[in-house]
Every structure is written in structure tokens, then in C-alpha cells.
């Protein structure tokens, strides 16, 4: 029997930046589209399609999508054609959430920038006074 092509779990972990435990969790948690291939010895072998999907799952999680929604999205994709409207609605809803969070972070960043401006002016003013002759 020829070897199954693909990456070992350690190689897939290095490639994706995730731990082997996280990859196993994704598999057990039904977050992947299909079972990961196995070698003749039973070791996982991650194909290119697996890695692309894992990257998508990682992006969804990094933007705060709950596991239950990632699981639902994966189930919809696994189910095949005919549920694109549900997939679209799920992703659009998540996009709205991400945009709201982004707006909040930008507002917080604006407040931080304002404080930085205040302290920069104070420090520069103090340095100007220290450099002024006869003060």
C-alpha cells in the first residue's frame, strides 16, 4: 500500500501555528469538513484541503466566532449544496459582530492616543523648561 500523502500532525501544527492538541480538538469537535486521512500505521496525514479549512476555522475563531457557530458552519459546508443562504447568513452575522468589535477597539485606541498626546506634550514641555537658560 503506498503511503498516504500529506503532513503529519506535527508538520500540520507547525504549518498552521496551532498545537497538535488544538488540531485534535478541531477533529473531535466536528470542526473539520472530513475525517483527517490516516497512514497505514494510523497516524494522521493532513491534506492541503484540510490545511485550508483549518486556516478558515482559525480565522473564524480569531475573530471571536463561537465554537458552536464554527461547528454549524462546518456542518453546513459538509452537507453540500443547497444551504448557501444559511451559510451566507451565518457569515454575515459574524461579520456584523466583528465590525462592531472593530469599531469599539478603534474607539478605545482613540482614547489611548489622546492620553499619549497629553503625556507627550507634558514630557516635551518639561524638557523645554529644563533646557531653557536661566530657569
61-96 confidence digits (pLDDT tens): 999 999 999 999 999 999 999 999 999 999 999 999
Which residues make Cβ contacts (< 8 Å) with residue 64, sequence separation at least 6? 97, 98, 101
Q: Domain segments of the chain: what residues?
A: 1-80, 95-135
Asked whether the predicted pLDDT for residue 130 surpasses 90, the reply is: no
Q: How far apart, in Å, are the Cα atoms of 95 and each of 41, 114, 122?
A: 42, 28, 40
Q: How far apart, in Å, are the Cα atoms of 67 and each of 40, 42, 64?
A: 31, 27, 9
In Å, how far from its chain's centre is CA 125?
A: 43
Domain made up of 1-80: CATH architecture: Orthogonal Bundle (1.10)
| Predicted TM-score (pTM) of this structure | 0.82
Helix (H) or strand (E) holding 38, with range, is strand 37-38
Q: What is the pLDDT of residue 25?
A: 96
* Average pLDDT in the chain: 94
Amino acid at each position: 500500500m503506498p503511503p498516504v500523502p500529506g503532513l503529519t500532525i506535527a508538520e500540520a501544527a507547525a504549518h498552521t501555528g496551532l498545537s497538535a492538541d488544538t488540531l485534535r480538538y478541531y477533529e473531535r469537535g466536528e470542526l473539520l469538513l472530513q475525517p483527517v486521512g490516516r497512514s497505514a500505521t494510523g497516524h494522521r496525514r493532513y491534506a492541503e484541503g484540510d490545511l485550508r479549512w483549518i486556516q478558515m476555522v482559525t480565522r473564524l475563531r480569531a475573530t471571536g466566532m463561537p465554537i458552536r457557530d464554527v461547528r454549524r458552519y462546518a456542518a453546513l459546508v459538509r452537507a453540500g449544496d443547497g444551504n448557501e443562504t444559511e451559510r451566507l447568513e451565518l457569515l454575515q452575522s459574524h461579520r456584523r459582530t466583528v465590525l462592531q468589535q472593530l469599531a469599539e477597539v478603534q474607539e478605545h485606541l482613540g482614547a489611548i492616543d489622546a492620553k499619549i498626546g497629553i503625556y507627550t506634550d507634558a514630557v516635551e514641555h518639561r524638557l523645554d523648561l529644563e533646557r531653557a537658560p536661566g530657569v
